[in-house]
Amino acid sequence: MEYPLLPKQMPERIKKVWRNSSLTTTIILLLIGIGSALFIQWLDHLQGIWLWIFGTYFAVLVLLLIFTLALIPYRYKYYRYEITAEDLAFQKGYFFRSITYVPINRIQHVETEQGPYLRKENLMEIVIHTAATSHHIAGLDVEEAMELRNQIIELVKVAKEDV
């Protein structure tokens, strides 16, 4: 049985944001590893077990980067959302797929966020808060994000009036 896909998908530019974010994280972790290795070398202990530890650390880091970059197209394919009058649905996962439904009347507030990589690609993230948790829709065009935010707020107002 094929898992159903929700209709709304992010713009293709989100792939570039995910790629840049993965590369930045990897570079930071590489610099931390290099700094630690240099410190151990400065202590004159970079031998034996320390060589194995740092070698394994750097190998795992590179393998994780390759794995993360290779999975970006799959992540893009299954990262979707849908808005109805009753609820919001969030879909994610390429191996372990899930769809989360959030009733409109449970939404407490809506935020928009934009980090440097999203800003560079003219994208924005919407964060929907409930009493229990928050849900993110990242990678929307700025205009679409603002329209979606207003649409959700209007749906919440209508749902709160009906209660």
- Say whether both 120 and 47 belong to one domain: no
**Do 123 and 134 meet the contact criterion of CB atoms below 8 Å apart?**
no
- Say whether both 88 and 148 belong to one domain: yes
- Say whether both 96 and 62 belong to one domain: no
In tens, the pLDDT along 107-141 reads: 999 999 999 999 999 999 999 999 889 999 888 99
- Say whether both 14 and 45 belong to one domain: yes
- Say whether both 88 and 117 belong to one domain: yes
In tens, the pLDDT along 135-158 reads: 998 889 999 999 999 999 888 888
| Assigned domain for 64 exists | yes
Nearest Cα to Cα of residue 154 among 101, 95, 92, 110: 110
Which of 74, 89, 118 finishes a domain? 74
In tens, the pLDDT along 16-52 reads: 999 999 999 999 999 999 999 888 888 877 788 888 8
| Res 1: pLDDT | 53
- Say whether both 21 and 53 belong to one domain: yes
- Say whether both 56 and 105 belong to one domain: no
Nearest Cα to Cα of residue 14 among 112, 89, 137, 121: 121
- Say whether both 87 and 151 belong to one domain: yes
| Res 49: pLDDT | 85
In tens, the pLDDT along 44-84 reads: 777 888 888 989 999 999 999 999 999 999 989 989 999 98
> How deeply is 61 buried, as exposed, middle or buried, from its count of CB atoms within 10 A (0-12, 13-18, 19+)?
middle
- Say whether both 65 and 117 belong to one domain: no
Backbone angles phi, psi at 62, to 5 degrees: -65, -40
- Say whether both 37 and 88 belong to one domain: no
| Assigned domain for 2 exists | no
Structural domain of 54? 9-74
| Res 3: pLDDT | 75
